[in-house]
Structure 1
Amino acid sequence: MYLFIINSRSGGGAGLRTWHTIQALLEKRAAAYEALLTHSADSAESQVLQTLARREDWRAAIVVGGDGTIHSVLGALRRSGVPLGVIPAGSGNDTARGFSIPLAPEAALDHALQERCIEADLLNAAGVLTLTAVASGFDAQVAVNVNASRYKRLCNAIGAGRLAYIIGVLHTLMTFKPCRVSVTCDGKEQAYAQAWLVSVCNLPSYGGGLLICPQAESGDGLLDVCVVHGVSRGQLLRLFPTVVKGRHTKLPYVTMLRGRSVAVHFAQPRHAIGDGEALGTAPLAVACEPGALRVLSPLAAASAVAAGAAGSCLTGG
């Protein structure tokens, strides 16, 4: 039995439209499933936990939605051990990209029903679990501004989620002021004057495909960190096109770090987000939880070949 978790509001209504497509495909394939419609991230975890507790033969919990919907059920899936599947229907869909899940609904469903898993790490920031990245500073402020904007809804309606982020960058650039930050990675502290952002990543991208930490791997037990500091507004604006291809990592005002735990303390209150969802403005302490989640992913096929395995829901990735 598959549990489908549908956020009808994801991607400006794309979640519900995508679910109608998936539902028709499931009926054609005579697949056994149950659908759970969620409307609030605050209640999604408890809804999923209650549903999963009703039976023991769940093959997977498959989210039809975006990164925020996935974020809301991570705690339930970690506790239950049920694998996560993804049918992308959000604005950014960076979780899908990070696990090589197709953006087309039917192709994503095909891969999910193959039931091949890899183990993935989770990020734990003061008890809040995150799968893609915990970002603080400028890009977190961009996300806060975008989520509160009218242009996000318009961009979602025309299938241009990344455009909303680009507009948000220009919007935020006019008002954001950098400040000093202390970053402690595996106990080693480094300070940066005039820091714009600190991103702690588990997957390579966020913001709709921006490769903030292109070397990040979901199952290596490590956090990848990007710090942007000591740069003018004009230089920061010119930096963003390089992020699309992940070419910013060698620039003199970009520092890349890697470790199992990271603490971030800005000299002034700065917003933080996890999977695009608000985490407040307090200093951050982020730890890696290795292999805490199983994810249905096309990447498992390559893992199976490398391991010489043929079973479903493989461990290791």
Structure 2
Amino acid sequence: MYLFVINPCSGGGAGRKVWQRIERMLKERGAEYEALLTESASSAGRDVMQALSRRERWSACVVVGGDGTIHSVLEALRTRGVPLGIVPAGSGNDTARAFGIPLEPEAALDAALTGIRVPADLLAANGGYTLTAVASGFDAQVAENVNASRYKRLCNTLHAGQLAYLIGILHTLITFKPCGASVLCDGQEHRFEGVWLASVCNLPSYGGGLLIAPQARPDDGRLDVCVVHGCSRMQLLRLFPTVLKGSHVSLPFVTMLRGTSAAVHFDREQPAIGDGESIGRGALAVRCEPGALAVLAPPARGPADPAPQEGTGSRAGGA
């Protein structure tokens, strides 16, 4: 029995349309399933925990939605030991991308029903779990601005979720003020001034394919930290096109760290997000929980091979 969790509002309404297609396919295949529609990512976790408790064994929980909806069900899936299937219907779909899950609904459904289980680490932070990244500072403010914007819905309608994020960057660049921050990675403290962002990553990308930590793998038992610091607004603006290919890691004002735990403390309170969803403000303490989740991926795919890695605590660009 499969539990399908559908957020019809994901992707500016794409979730509803995708589910209509998926439901027809399930009926044609005679698959055994239950459907759970949730009106928001924030309510999905509670609804899924209740649904999973009604049956001892589930083949999988398949999310028809975006990264935010996936985020909300992680604790329930970890607690019940149920694997995650994904039919992407969000604006970013970075989780699907990291596990080689197709964006086309029928192919994604095949992966959920016949794919292989691959282990995935989770990031534990602020009393919850995150799969893509826990980000604080500028990019968290960008996410908050995008989620509250009108242009996100328009971009989703045009199937251009990444464009919404890029618009949000320009929007936030005008008002954001960087400050000093301390980053503790596996017990070693690193002090930075003029910090724009500090992202603790489990997957290579977020924000609709922006390769913040191109070397990150979801199954290596480690987290990757990207800190952008000591640069001007114009330098930061020029940085973002390089993030599309992950080449920003060689810039002198980008520092990459690796470890099993990380703590971030800004001198001035900053917003934080997990999987694009707000997880509060203030200091962050993040730890990696190896293999805490199973994800259903296409048989020939799975987590992408990592880019060449720097050692733990290394400074990109040798600076």
* Coarse TM-score class (shorter-chain normalised): over 0.9
8 Å Cα contact 1:15-1:89 kept in structure 2? yes
Separation in 2 of the partners of 1:252 and 1:222? Answer: 24
Secondary structure, aligned partner of 1:258: strand
Separation in 1 of the partners of 2:190 and 2:201? Answer: 18
8 Å Cα contact 1:181-1:267 kept in structure 2? yes
Structure 2 partner of 1:88: 88
Structure 2 partner of 1:257: 257
Separation in 1 of the partners of 2:78 and 2:300? Answer: 19
8 Å Cα contact 1:5-1:62 kept in structure 2? yes
8 Å Cα contact 1:117-1:300 kept in structure 2? no
| Percent identity of equivalent pairs | 68
Please give the TM-score of this superposition, normalised by the length of structure 2.
0.93
Secondary structure, aligned partner of 1:163: helix
Structure 1 partner of 2:49: 49
Q: Displacement, 1:280?
A: 1.5
Q: What residue ranges of structure 2 are gaps of 5+ in the alignment?
A: 304-319
Pairing 1:67-216 to 2, within 5 Å after superposition: 67-216=67-216
Instruction: Quickly say closer, same or farther: Cα 1:61–1:300, change in 2 above 3 A.
Output: farther
Separation in 2 of the partners of 1:298 and 1:209? Answer: 19
8 Å Cα contact 1:141-1:271 kept in structure 2? yes
Structure 1 partner of 2:272: 272
Secondary structure, aligned partner of 1:200: strand
Instruction: Quickly say closer, same or farther: Cα 1:286–1:4, change in 2 above 3 A.
Output: same
8 Å Cα contact 2:115-2:298 kept in structure 1? no
8 Å Cα contact 2:123-2:130 kept in structure 1? yes
Separation in 1 of the partners of 2:133 and 2:96? Answer: 13
Pairing 1:302-317 to 2, within 5 Å after superposition: none
Separation in 2 of the partners of 1:205 and 1:42? Answer: 22
Please give the TM-score of this superposition, normalised by the length of structure 1.
0.94
Q: Displacement, 1:47?
A: 1.1
Q: Displacement, 1:50?
A: 1.3
Q: Displacement, 1:40?
A: 2.7
Separation in 2 of the partners of 1:238 and 1:283? Answer: 28
Instruction: Quickly say closer, same or farther: Cα 1:301–1:66, change in 2 above 3 A.
Output: closer
Secondary structure, aligned partner of 1:22: helix
Q: Displacement, 1:158?
A: 1.4
Separation in 2 of the partners of 1:97 and 1:42? Answer: 23
Instruction: Quickly say closer, same or farther: Cα 1:284–1:300, change in 2 above 3 A.
Output: farther
Matched, 1:15 2:15: yes
Q: Displacement, 1:56?
A: 2.1
Q: What amino acid sits opposite 1:214 in the alignment?
A: P
* Residue range with higher mean Cα deviation, 294-303 or 109-118: 294-303
Separation in 2 of the partners of 1:121 and 1:240? Answer: 27
Secondary structure, aligned partner of 1:192: strand
Structure 1 partner of 2:242: 242
Separation in 1 of the partners of 2:229 and 2:72? Answer: 31
Q: Displacement, 1:279?
A: 1.3
Structure 1 partner of 2:315: none
Q: What amino acid sits opposite 1:176 in the alignment?
A: F
Secondary structure, aligned partner of 2:207: coil
Separation in 2 of the partners of 1:13 and 1:297? Answer: 25
Separation in 2 of the partners of 1:105 and 1:159? Answer: 14
| Deviations 1:3-39, CA, capped at 9 Å, x for gaps | 1000010000000100001011111111111100011
Q: Displacement, 1:67?
A: 0.2
8 Å Cα contact 2:9-2:40 kept in structure 1? no
Separation in 2 of the partners of 1:146 and 1:126? Answer: 22
Instruction: Quickly say closer, same or farther: Cα 1:104–1:28, change in 2 above 3 A.
Output: same
Q: Displacement, 1:300?
A: 6.7
Q: Displacement, 1:298?
A: 2.3
RMSD: 1.2
Q: Displacement, 1:44?
A: 1.4
Q: Displacement, 1:42?
A: 3.1
8 Å Cα contact 1:100-1:299 kept in structure 2? no
Q: Which runs of 4+ in 1 moved over 6 A?
A: none
Separation in 2 of the partners of 1:68 and 1:301? Answer: 23
Separation in 2 of the partners of 1:50 and 1:256? Answer: 40
| Deviations 1:228-286, CA, capped at 9 Å, x for gaps | 00111111111000000000001100000000000000000111100000011110000
Secondary structure, aligned partner of 1:177: coil
